[in-house]
Structure 1
Amino acid sequence: MIRPDAGLRVYLCREPVDMRKQIDGLALLVQEAMELNPFEEAVFVFGNRQRDKVKILFWERNGFVVWYKRLEKERFKWPARLDGDTLSLSGQELNWLLDGYDISAMQPHKALNFQSVG
């Protein structure tokens, strides 16, 4: 299975998207609604109203790629609406979302930054 690298930038469109949209329509959504550059080194994630389908758009060197996943049962646990219509995720969080985890409920340990030992 193809999955994004943990360090990849991921932008999630919080609003439901018509899954009939293809590459051009999704790229236009990235540019106009999300106000992002569809050609940057990132993936753009879209879900439908029922939250049982996801499309991921990304630019790969010389053309766009769309990755599509449809669930037979269950639903994706889409993050709750906060500020704005776009949410930035890590590649790991996207993998968790695709696996069915509620990423808004998952909190990692805080990062510690020490300057010396003892």
Structure 2
Amino acid sequence: MRCSFDGLAALVRRHLGQDPLSGQGFVFINRRRTLLKLLYFDGDGYCVWSKRLERGQFGGALTAGDAVEALSRTQFTALLEGLDLVIRKRQKRWRQSPHPGTESGKMHG
């Protein structure tokens, strides 16, 4: 977890096979799960946000080597708050279709 902007961007490219310039946020947690870093590109530069816990651990359900494709805002907030990320069943919610001209009001779940 000594990496900063360039080191984290290199990890995103090499180990995750993702583009760090995409605008997505990439979360890194140390082995002891007491330090979290978030890397994202806001359009004109990299941003690194970090949080170190004085007590407890991040991600009760996460283990070393876990690679999560995407976290929802709720899951990310749960991670920061120390809640369990395992969702046993997601309730269906209405979402607008991301593609214009397709059926809107479709239930997802």
Kindly indicate whether residue 30 of structure 2 is the aligned counterpart of residue 57 of structure 1.
no
| Structure 1: stretches of 5+ with no match in the other structure | 1-18
Deviation of 1:78 after TM superposition, in Å, equals 5.0
Q: Which has the higher contact order (CA 8 A, sep 6+)?
A: 1
Higher strand share: 1
Which residue number corresponds to residue 86 of structure 1? 67
Q: In 1, Cα distance between the equivalents of 2:67 and 2:59?
A: 16
Deviation at 1:26, TM superposition (A): 0.3
* CA RMSD between the two structures: 2.1
> Which residue is equivalent to 2:52?
70
Aligned to 1:13: none
**TM-score, normalization by structure 1:** 0.70
- Unaligned stretches of 5+ residues in structure 2: 95-105
CA contact (8 A) 1:48 1:54 kept: yes
Asked if 1:104 corresponds to 2:96, the answer is: no
Aligned length: 94
Task: Give the % identical residues.
Answer: 36
Note the C-alpha offset of 1:20: 0.6
Q: In the alignment, what sits opposite 2:13?
A: 31
Give the structure-2-normalised TM-score: 0.75
